[in-house]
Each structure stands twice: as structure tokens, then as C-alpha cells.
Amino acid sequence: MALRLLEAGFALRVHNRSPGRAAPLVAAGAWAAASAAEAVAGADLVCLCLRDDRAVREVLFGPGAQAAVASLVPGALVIDFSTIAPATSRELAEGLAEHGVAYLDAPVTGGTEGARAGRLSVLVGGAADQLERARPLLEQVGQRISHFGPVGGGQQVKALNQVMVAGSYAAVAEALALGRRLGLPMEEVCAALAGGAAGSWALQHRAANMLREDFPLGFRLDLHRKDLAIAQAEAAAVGLALPVSERVAALEDDLIAAGFGGEDVSALARWFA
């Protein structure tokens, strides 16, 4: 996503909490910052893409002078691409507002393929005028930008996305396992089914990996499990059971315990093996 912004001509200062991870961006023309505070100093637009709620809180409001809030200027806009709980997004927006800083929650979906191609779907919660301010940037990373009301709305829709991902990936993995046990020619089966009612993103983009038992990222299994927990909490708050998601979460827990959490979500196929 950052490379897309560089290619579009945005002047970019970058910071990654893991040393060395920003090197390709620096080689492409970004300026490396030693801390989050240094990265955001004087910036009009600030983008975050972090692992979880705790990471976002620490980067924005962590102790000491290295936290971003120490250098955010009044009038800046924080665009948070992270997938976190809707309540956390609202909490962050309130904290930033005390410093005169606006906030959009803008989680994305579309995988690494979509990120590289600038074809992500961006799910936005926040003020409409701030979305319009961010739109020229968002259009470089996303093919579709959708607004879902106040802060937290984007995160709620991302939770729905992860529920759908859970069901579709698990269904493909289960069907492939059955087909293999039946001795069917599974490459031909997948090609035949992709154009019918069973067609899905998971079938089109991940079935081949499942058949090869090779699970490059993609999207990490343990991060999807984290996202499912957000969806489960949202469902519990409104008194709704999510039986399919709960079953997939249990499968993912088994695989994470077995050491496969760093693989792509398509590693769900390992459970059936």
C-alpha cells in the first residue's frame, strides 16, 4: 500500500516497528523515521496499518516521546487501515479529538494481491468531510471506497467480511478434502466448479495452494483468528450466535496451537489432513 502511494507521487515518511522492514520503501524513495513520533511530525495525513488494538494504542498513545501523539499537529487526519474492534476505533477517535486531530477507521480487504495492484476495498467509518479529504490517497490503494457512517462503522463491516472469509475458506478446504478422499481429479473439479454456484474468491485464489499444501501469505491465519474474535464479540453484544464462525475459530485454534498461525488462512486445509 505504501509503495502504491510512492508511485502516485505522495511524499512519504515511514516507520516500522520491526527494524529493516521499511527498507524496500526507503529504496523506493521514502524517508525513514526512527520512531512513530518522527514519522508523523508535521504531517497532514497519517496512515496506520498495524497488527491489533494494542499495537495501535501503543503507536498513537504509548508512553514517552516516541508515540505519535507527541508530534501530531492540530488539524491532522489519522487514517487507520488496521483491523481492530469498533469500540477501540471510537476510543482512539475521542483521544485524538482532544488534540485537534481527526480519525477515520479504514480497514481493507482484498489480500496482498489487492494491495499490490491498488484494488483493495476500503471500508470507512468517520466524518464525511474527512473521507473526502482522504479520498485522493485512498483512491491509490483501493478500487472501491465505501462509507459506513460514524467511526467504527468500517470496522463493523470488516468483521462481517471476516465472517464470510471464515465460511468460504473452510468450505473450500472441506470440499477439497472430500474430493481427494473420493479420488477425484481435483484440479479439474475446481475449474469446473469455479464458474458455477460454488464459485468464490477462496476457490479461485486459494484452492490451488490447498491442493499443493503450500500456504504463502496472503493473510495470516492467526490474524484472521484475531479478527473472528472481534466479530464474535460484536455478535455477542447484540445477542446473535455465529455457529459457523465459532466452528472455524476452533479449527484455527487447533492449527495455531500446532504452529501454523503464521501461514495463510488457506492453511485451514491442514486441519482436514
**Per-residue pLDDT of the chain in tens (273 residues, 90 and over written 9):** 999 999 999 999 999 999 899 999 999 999 999 999 999 999 999 999 999 999 999 999 998 778 999 999 999 999 999 999 999 999 999 999 999 999 999 999 998 889 999 999 999 999 999 999 999 999 999 999 999 999 999 999 999 999 999 999 999 999 999 999 999 999 999 999 999 999 999 999 999 999 999 999 889 999 999 999 999 999 999 999 999 999 999 999 999 999 999 999 999 999 998
Residue 202, C-alpha cell as written in the block: 477462496
Is the Cα dihedral 262, 264, 266, 269 positive or negative?
negative
Do 9 and 69 reside in the same domain of the chain?
A: yes
CATH number, residue 71 = 3.40.50.720
| Strand ranges of the sheet holding 120-124, from the earlier edge strand across to the other edge | 108-109, 120-124, 142-147
Mark which of 106, 128, 149 sits at the end of a domain: 149
Residue 131, C-alpha cell as written in the block: 473521507
Cell 471510537 locates to 90
Q: Three-state DSSP class for 37?
A: helix
Query: Nearest Cα to 157, choosing from 165, 148, 166, 144?
Result: 148
Domain enclosing residue 224, as ranges: 155-272
Do 63 and 97 reside in the same domain of the chain?
A: yes
Distance CA 27, CA 249 (A): 39
Do 210 and 136 reside in the same domain of the chain?
A: no
Mark which of 117, 149, 181 sits at the end of a domain: 149
Share of the chain residues as helix, strand and coil, in percent rounded to the nearest 5: 55, 10, 35
Selected catalytic residue, list 147, 158, 220, 270: 158
CATH number, residue 166 = 1.10.1040.10
**pTM score, whole prediction:** 0.95
Does the annotation mark 226 as catalytic? Answer: no
Do 141 and 160 reside in the same domain of the chain?
A: no
**Number of domains into which the chain is organized:** 2
